[in-house]
Amino acid sequence: MERTLKPLIPMGAITGHPTREELIATLESYRKVGIEQFLIYPRSGLEVEYMGPEWLEICRHILEYCDEHGMAVWLYDEYNWPSGKCKGKVIRKNPDFASKKLVAFSERNSCRRANQDVPAEEFFWTEVSIPLFADILDPDAVDCFIRLTHEVYFQHFGSYFGKTIRGIFSDEPSFRYSTYQPVAGNVLEIPYYLGLKEDYRQATGHSLTDDLEEIGRASCRERV
């Protein structure tokens, strides 16, 4: 019968280029105070290639020690966060896998002054790629991410899965990260994925951009 482990799981931030001895010393310090689980967390300051040979060797040292001493390991599936980009490798594989915004511009970049009618604005729409993040609403981009992370871990450490490796942690996957910084000069922008316009039409019977333009005009009328 498998024993129940204590639930505390520290996020072990791996930075620099730690040696096997340094990793073991850290794990032993946790084990001596009764901590039985460890999450391998690659983040800013790591001095080896993320998901490269040296990184996988670091993971191997941790897994070998934890397996020998009955500790559980959790994998973190991204470098920093949000999960989905494999530290930019997903977008380098295919630039179309970058997250996207649908952005509107207008020659009238502000509402009319008070006591004036608000004319029908002429909106100019464009799709903007945000290559700092992956488009996790694109199944092909997500498949690429899984191949570069989850499957690589399984290929190298498959014998530990279901035993020493108890699970994989995904951190804050969200397409809304692409809206963090607004595009200069826009009058309206929303997160976007290829196929959104058709999905919206099928769900509502309306044009997405027409409805967004009406919302923009209505908002403008409320302010004048």
11 three-state secondary structure: strand
Give the integer Cα–Cα distance in Å for 169 and 128.
30
pLDDT at 124 over 80: yes
Pairing of strands 98-106, 72-76: unpaired
Tell me the pLDDT band of 219, cut-offs 50, 70 and 90: low
Taking 50 as the threshold, does the pLDDT of residue 75 lie above it?
yes
pLDDT band at residue 119 using 50, 70 and 90 as cut-offs: low
If you average pLDDT over residues 165-189, what whole number do you get? Answer: 89
Torsional sign, CA 20, 25, 28, 30: negative
pTM greater than 0.85 (yes/no): yes
d(CA 109, CA 112): 10
Q: What percent of the chain has pLDDT over 70?
A: 90
* Distance from C-alpha of 83 to C-alpha of 136, rounded to nearest angstrom: 9
Distance CA(50)–CA(20), nearest Å, equals: 17
